[in-house]
Amino acid sequence: YPEEAPARPTGVDGFWMMSKAVINSQFAEFVDATGYLTVAERPLDPVDYPDAPPANLKPGSMVFTRTQGPVDLRHLNSWWTWTPGASWRHPVGPLSSIDKRAEHPVVHVAYEDA
């Protein structure tokens, strides 16, 4: 997408990874204690994305979309859908919740959030 350009090489410093996934109830405790707002929940500044369609400038995340069969793997929008309102609290969109997913791994957490 034009708003994701230009492509450039980058590096990532070393980091530690937990041996077990963080679950929704644990992440909720962290958010309750700190008031943290994840990348998927933060408002977007149009200045940061000058060529982005206005519909894409809402907080949200990419949600996996089941396909009818094989897809062209070069086009991730064949099986992922930009979903305004999707976040760790609303894993498949704004009308979903984690109420019955307390023990599931937290999703829609960006590197910055981790």
- pLDDT tens sequence across 37-68: 999 999 999 999 999 888 789 999 999 988 89
pTM of the shown model: 0.76
The pair of three-digit structure tokens given for residue 5, joined into one six-digit string: 């350009």
Say if residue 2's pLDDT is above 90: no
What residues contact residue 81 under an 8 Å CB cut-off, 6+ apart? 62, 63, 65
Rg from Cα positions in the chain: 16
State CA 7 to chain mean position distance: 20
Query: Other CB atoms closer than 10 Å to residue 24's CB: what's the count?
Result: 20
Q: For position 77, what pLDDT does the model report? A: 84
Closest CA to 56 of 94, 85, 90, 78: 85
- pLDDT tens sequence across 88-97: 999 999 999 9
The pair of three-digit structure tokens given for residue 30, joined into one six-digit string: 């962290």
- Map residue 53 onto helix, strand or coil: coil
